[in-house]
Amino acid sequence: MKYNFSILPEIENKLHKIDIDQIDRKMLTFLQQNGRVSNLELAEAVNLSAPQCHRRHRRLEEAGFIVGYETRLSPASLGLFVIAFVHVSMEKGHINDLSGFKAAINEWPQILECYSITGDFDYVLKVTAHDLKELSDFLMEKLMRMRGVSGVRSSVCLDEIKATNMLPLPPA
């Protein structure tokens, strides 16, 4: 899932247009856990008729509560055994190189996530690779050679403790 924080006001306006009730919360929770569920299974899980469930589901999509569906793959099954978090510093005045940086970030498939952050660094990336050599090659040959990048610091993940896209839902 991609977060586009520049559209937050637009989403916030949509979120305030409808109130979600306990059934909507059940639907959203169930959908987060079971993305491939059929409408009939969803209806059974939240004790609604199939047509009622379909209308509510569509309303939640249209209101911006549901922004997409995805399949999570096993990195190890694809030979991707390395996950690293990479902090990137940009040169002063990097705003001139921002569009090139963003384009490259979106082009490179080994970058799973990228966030603009506060603090000592400008960006943090979640990067995957088959092995440490491939990670090193990516960092040295691509990322560190980008125009505007002044520094890179990486941390290799030793063990994944928790990884989820499930958001906590507000209480009723």
pLDDT in tens, 20-78: 999 999 999 999 999 899 999 999 999 999 999 999 999 999 999 999 988 889 999 99
C-alpha dihedral (36, 38, 44, 48), degrees to nearest 10: 120
Nearest to 112 by CA among 152, 163, 61: 163
Instruction: Between 6 and 142, name the one with better pLDDT.
Output: 142
86 backbone dihedrals φ, ψ, rounded to 5°: -115, 120
Where are the extended beta strands (E) located within 14-103? 82-90
Instruction: Between 19 and 86, name the one with better pLDDT.
Output: 86
Global pTM reads 0.81
Report, at the CATH architecture level, how domain 20-72 is classified. Orthogonal Bundle (1.10)
Task: State how far the Cα of 85 lies from the Cα of 105, in Å rounded to an integer.
Answer: 14
Note the pLDDT tens digit of each residue in 91-115: 987 777 788 899 999 999 999 999 9
- Residue 15 binned pLDDT confidence (cut-offs 50, 70, 90): very low
Sheet (strand 149-156) strand order: 111-116, 123-129, 82-90, 149-156
Quickly tell me which residue has 């856990």 as its tokens.
33
Instruction: Between 5 and 29, name the one with better pLDDT.
Output: 29
33 backbone dihedrals φ, ψ, rounded to 5°: -85, -25
- Domain residue spans of the chain: 20-72, 75-157
CA-only gyration radius of the chain, Å: 20
User: Taking the domain 75-157, which CATH number applies?
Assistant: 3.30.70.920
- Residue 1 binned pLDDT confidence (cut-offs 50, 70, 90): very low
82 backbone dihedrals φ, ψ, rounded to 5°: -120, 130
Question: Do 20-72 and 75-157 have matching folds?
Answer: no
